């Protein structure tokens, strides 16, 4: 026999929606059956009839001999059952999933010849598409000494929105922070034009604000092959504020190809009427480096810094299709 501490709240979970007298009857039934024993040092719950707040949960020691015998003969390389042979109690809890994993390697290992996504492989093995991502799934793999690499997975990435005027390459791609300029520039190109602000542009990519950092994190996986030609030219265009500059600098560090600010657009955003510009958000990250400014003339940098120092910003919506 073994016993462990348990609280009244834990005991009452199965009858949490019953009235109090039903809950009292439930606890008394468990006490009479010898499953529960009130702890002598426990306070009461202050209700009538009173119940102790803490109990001993009394459990019979489980006979693991059948599971030990089962584990002695389990063999399904590359799975290892060493952990379970030393922790039979854990094997009992995870047995169903271990059996599913073992069956997959014994009878369906041919499926490993083709790489699939983690969710797809999870469903093939456990008939639950999210199981491999769960803490329980990760524990079973660890206990069986199986890595995700052993399951021959292919990496998936979040798709991003883009407009391609052509898929020829090398070409010029422009990544745009916000939706309105993306739609306006797309309309501009759909009208038969091939340049934006006199720069030839072949593909527009919609960044969706800060989400661009996540959306383009796996650019090499999510993009079309023509987008990954190292001879391509890549530009970025966002709001002229600390946040927009921070997005550019963060993205450019992790982007697999050289990424430059789309200078003509930023130059058109500069205005002498700084007082008419909207105020910046107070909680913006102002810790930007010099990468962004390095692409501009000294005069342009001074004008941009004057706007930022005044606590103002220029949204991309400052420019419209007539400016493109």
Q: What is the pLDDT of residue 1?
A: 65
Average pLDDT estimate for 121-130: 91
Average pLDDT estimate for 305-317: 89
Strand order in the sheet with 203-206: 162-164, 203-206, 172-176, 233-237, 259-261
Q: What is the pTM of this model?
A: 0.59
Q: What are the backbone angles phi and psi of residue 7, rounded to the nearest 5°?
A: -90, 160
The residues near 296 (Cβ < 8 Å, ≥ 6 apart) are 261, 263, 266, 267, 304
- What is the rounded average pLDDT for all residues in the chain? 89
Q: Convert the pLDDT of each residue in 87-112 to its tens digit.
A: 998 999 899 999 999 999 999 999 99
**Better-scored residue on pLDDT, 143 or 279:** 143
Domain boundaries, the chain: 3-58, 64-154, 162-318
Contact 82, 96 (CB under 8 A): no
Residue 224's alpha-carbon distances to 87, 170, 303, 324, in angstroms, are 48, 13, 38, 26
Does 256 have pLDDT greater than 70? yes
Question: What band does 322 get if pLDDT is binned at 50, 70 and 90?
Answer: confident
């Amino acid at each position: 026999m073994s016993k462990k501490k348990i609280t009244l709240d834990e005991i009452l979970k199965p009858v949490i929606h019953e009235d109090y007298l039903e809950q009292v009857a439930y606890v008394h039934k468990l006490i009479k059956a010898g499953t529960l024993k009130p702890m002598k040092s426990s306070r009461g719950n202050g209700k009538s009839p009173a119940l102790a707040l803490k109990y001993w949960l009394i459990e019979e020691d489980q006979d693991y001999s059948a599971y030990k015998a089962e584990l002695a003969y389990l063999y399904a390389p590359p799975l290892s059952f060493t952990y379970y042979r030393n922790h039979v109690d854990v094997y009992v809890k995870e047995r169903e999933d271990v059996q599913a994993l073992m069956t997959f390697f014994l009878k369906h290992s041919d499926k490993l010849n083709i790489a699939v996504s983690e969710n797809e492989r999870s469903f093939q093995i456990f008939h639950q598409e999210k199981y491999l991502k769960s803490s329980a799934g990760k524990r079973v793999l660890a206990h069986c000494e199986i890595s995700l690499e052993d399951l021959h997975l292919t990496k998936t990435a979040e798709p991003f929105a883009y407009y391609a005027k052509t898929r020829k390459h090398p070409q010029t791609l422009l990544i745009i922070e916000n939706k309105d300029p993306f739609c306006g520039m797309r309309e501009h190109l759909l009208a038969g034009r091939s340049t934006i602000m006199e720069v030839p542009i072949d593909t527009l990519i919609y960044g969706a604000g800060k989400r661009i950092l996540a959306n383009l994190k796996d650019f090499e996986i999510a993009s079309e092959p023509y987008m990954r030609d190292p001879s391509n030219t890549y530009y970025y265009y966002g709001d002229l504020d600390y946040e927009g500059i921070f997005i550019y600098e963060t993205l450019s560090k992790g982007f697999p190809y050289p990424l430059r600010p789309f200078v003509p657009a930023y130059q058109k955003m500069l205005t002498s009427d700084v007082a008419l510009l909207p105020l910046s958000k107070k909680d913006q990250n102002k810790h930007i480096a010099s990468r962004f400014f390095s692409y501009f003339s000294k005069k342009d940098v001074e004008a941009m810094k004057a706007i930022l120092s005044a606590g103002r910003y220029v949204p991309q919506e400052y420019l419209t299709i007539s400016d493109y």
